[in-house]
Structure 1
Amino acid sequence: MKALVTGGAGFIGSHLVEHLLAFDHEVVVLDDFSTGSAENLAAVADDVTAVSGSILDEDALDRAMDGCDTVFHLAAAVGVHTIVNRPMESLRRNLLGTQAVLEAARRHARRLLLVSSSEIYGKNTKDNLCEDDDRILGSPLKSRWSYAAAKGLDELMGFWCWREYGLGVVIVRPFNVVGPRQSGAFGMVVPHLVEQALAGQPLTLHGDGTQRRCFCAVADVVPAFVVLVEDERAHGRAFNLGSTEEVTMRQLAERVLRVTNSDSPIVHVPYDRAYEPGFEDMARRCPDTTRARELIGFRARTCLDDIIAAVAADQRRSPRETVGAVTEGAT
């Protein structure tokens, strides 16, 4: 395989690049380094063809895609902080960017894995969300839901490229992927809490801490990307990828304290103070991964304490500065 990874200098993208290289695939990375970092690819820089550019640049896309047979589309606006603070830029990147990548894949006749998000389920809090469950979104005038709306339209474009044009598109919906090299700068809760614990600072939680989430190791998710895009039975379908080990945000903070051996206090920050008046969050989000398990044997194997320990070890080696004093309750 010769693969193009858009957003390959980002957290998940860089882990995917390393996984592909470990199996002797050729890799091209397209990234504008707005949220990704060349440091994330430092260990494999000599083995990767890097194209610096935006997914909105048709020429850059064509150069990067030339000679590739597979596209992994991960480039996107990252994190709730970005969505709330720069909504128009985020919408352009997530909507027009995905459209540009899909059109380029169609021009070059490349199969494509479209990385969506568990955010598309919105406020649906049912037990074990499955891929065909309803999306429950708040008002389109609330910036909180612009990311979910954009990702839903991304999926729709990908699905119809498969249905109408025969493009080999697979959609994946990761649920709270965590691991080394992830920054808390964009609102990702685990690296932010770990950073605070290691620094002896108060651990900040949004809301009352009863929100329930599942966190999955990046090392468990990226191999599934590759297996799914190579399996024609997956084309035209969406797949949840995540853990079913569910915790409240309060429990997450307590486990971070235990794993890092920190005695920092836990404090709660109202959503209105953290983001904007009227900000909405969901009480629960837990995936049903039956579809991925039955097709490719997917299973999240890394427990939450081991995920936290890996993030802590990474931050001790390479501290990452976090923007702002609070972090989102979950991503």
Structure 2
Amino acid sequence: MGQVVVTGGLGFIGSHVADAYLARGDTVRIIDSEVGAVVDGEDYDTDPRCTVVRASVEDYLRGGGDFAGVDRVVHAAAHVGPAGILHHVGTLGVDIVMSTSPVLEACLAADVPLCVFSSAEVYGRSGQLAEGDDIRVPRDYNARIEYAVAKTLTEVMTVNSRHRGLRAIVIRPFNVGGARQSRAGGFVMPTFVQQALAGTPITVFATGQQVRAFLAATDLARFLTDHMDAALAAGHTVINVGNPGNAVTVMALAERVKELMGSSSPIVRVDAKTIHGPLYEEAESFHKVPVLGAAAALGWRPQLDLDDLILQTADYYRRRSDVRADRAAV
């Protein structure tokens, strides 16, 4: 089978992508600075088909590393999470662009296909969001807008580099969830699940009527292993990957988590700024539901429903701690 590079492969999405390629029989090279790691990588260290380089991708490439002989690169390294990005406000945009630019150049030099992860945050508005829709930049700048603009720029850089010979796709994932996702980034599903397991209040921000469509990380990884080649061959550039069937309000998610887990936790509405600080803002996309265009045309469909995704997350955190949150608390 092939050799795959996954940047950010110790992070939430990256580790699921690495697992999917290893399960397919590929060899995997993980490049990760460990800043946003949700696993320690020890299991990968003992797998002869997996190599872990504990460095940022910028340092790896600057130090003489390259992608020669690689069959594909999946660029998942980035600061993530509505709370996680707050620590990098003001430099967030530079960090995202400066980690992507050398990856583009290295893939061009080695003639290696590339997948770049963007974000559904780029749409900058509410509603049913399709790949062909215009995107907007709200006027009130904050950390989430900085993140969205930076992701938009990496999309433009990637798509425009196709004119230089780059073979690449951009994925806009919608509210990915599942095992290993950390509450430390401010992600709602692992936060609710861990609160329910501990019997502490389940904290709902704002009105709780925000609509999110939750996608299993395993379904996202399956798009890459099963459909990336077809997407490149078909000439697709920007691809929504999400699960509109799992659309739910945040309040309804809290209620479902509590019910499925038989938890005694009360559900309470709180001001997010009291938890994450004054820089925290809700997303401009108050209602954020994907329209599946290119992914559906390629034959991909999400499989894991909302209940199974909640239970999968709960099962993981019954057996393991939240590595990233534990590290952040030290």
Instruction: Report the counterpart of residue 79 of structure 1 in structure 2.
Output: 81
Q: Distance in 1 between matches of 2:258 and 2:325?
A: 21
Deviations 1:120-178 (A, max 9, x none): 112x212x21101121332363222111101000100000111x212111111110111
Q: Report how far residue 85 of structure 1 moved.
A: 2.6
Instruction: Report the counterpart of residue 5 of structure 1 in structure 2.
Output: 6
Instruction: Report the counterpart of residue 321 of structure 2 in structure 1.
Output: 319
Aligned 1:79-228 pairs, distance under 5 A: 79-122=81-124, 124-126=125-127, 128-139=128-139, 141-162=141-162, 164-228=163-227
Indicate conservation of the 8 Å contact 2:38/2:181, yes or no: no
- In structure 2, do the counterparts of structure 1 residues 230 and 62 end up closer, same or farther at CA, with 3 Å as the change threshold? farther
Q: Distance in 2 between matches of 1:234 and 1:143?
A: 35
Instruction: Report the counterpart of residue 19 of structure 1 in structure 2.
Output: 20
Q: Report how far residue 227 of structure 1 moved.
A: 3.1
Structure 1 length-normalised TM: 0.90
Is the partner of 1:155 in helix, strand or coil? helix
Instruction: Report the counterpart of residue 243 of structure 1 in structure 2.
Output: 243
Instruction: Report the counterpart of residue 48 of structure 1 in structure 2.
Output: 50
Deviations 1:252-293 (A, max 9, x none): 000010111102111112244344268343320000113211
Look up the equivalent residue of 1:219 and give its one-letter code.
T
- In structure 2, do the counterparts of structure 1 residues 322 and 257 end up closer, same or farther at CA, with 3 Å as the change threshold? farther
- In structure 2, do the counterparts of structure 1 residues 61 and 312 end up closer, same or farther at CA, with 3 Å as the change threshold? farther
Q: Distance in 2 between matches of 1:322 and 1:161?
A: 34
Is the partner of 1:219 in helix, strand or coil? helix
Deviations 1:84-112 (A, max 9, x none): 23213422321111111111111111110
Q: Report how far residue 13 of structure 1 moved.
A: 1.0
Indicate conservation of the 8 Å contact 2:32/2:54, yes or no: yes
**Any gaps of 5 or more consecutive residues in structure 1?**
325-331
Q: Report how far residue 60 of structure 1 moved.
A: 5.6
Indicate conservation of the 8 Å contact 1:155/1:171, yes or no: yes
Equivalent pairs, count: 320
Indicate conservation of the 8 Å contact 2:86/2:143, yes or no: yes
Percent identical pairs in the alignment equals 34
Q: Which moved more, 1:147-156 or 1:227-236?
A: 227-236
- In structure 2, do the counterparts of structure 1 residues 141 and 129 end up closer, same or farther at CA, with 3 Å as the change threshold? closer
Indicate conservation of the 8 Å contact 1:207/1:268, yes or no: yes
Indicate conservation of the 8 Å contact 1:71/1:112, yes or no: yes
Q: Which moved more, 1:56-65 or 1:20-29?
A: 56-65
Instruction: Report the counterpart of residue 328 of structure 1 in structure 2.
Output: none
**Any gaps of 5 or more consecutive residues in structure 2?**
none
Q: Report how far residue 26 of structure 1 moved.
A: 1.4
Look up the equivalent residue of 1:206 and give its one-letter code.
F
Instruction: Report the counterpart of residue 256 of structure 1 in structure 2.
Output: 257
Instruction: Report the counterpart of residue 297 of structure 2 in structure 1.
Output: 294
Indicate conservation of the 8 Å contact 2:201/2:268, yes or no: yes
Indicate conservation of the 8 Å contact 2:36/2:324, yes or no: no
Look up the equivalent residue of 2:206 and give its one-letter code.
G
Deviations 1:164-214 (A, max 9, x none): 212111111110111111111111110011000100100111101011110
Indicate conservation of the 8 Å contact 1:7/1:30, yes or no: yes
Q: Distance in 2 between matches of 1:62 and 1:23?
A: 29
CA root-mean-square deviation? 2.1
Is the partner of 1:63 in helix, strand or coil? coil
Structure 2 length-normalised TM: 0.91
Q: Distance in 2 between matches of 1:278 and 1:196?
A: 20
Is the partner of 2:278 in helix, strand or coil? coil
Q: Report how far residue 24 of structure 1 moved.
A: 1.2
Instruction: Report the counterpart of residue 34 of structure 1 in structure 2.
Output: 35
Q: Distance in 1 between matches of 2:53 and 2:62?
A: 7
- In structure 2, do the counterparts of structure 1 residues 317 and 26 end up closer, same or farther at CA, with 3 Å as the change threshold? same
Q: Distance in 1 between matches of 2:63 and 2:74?
A: 13
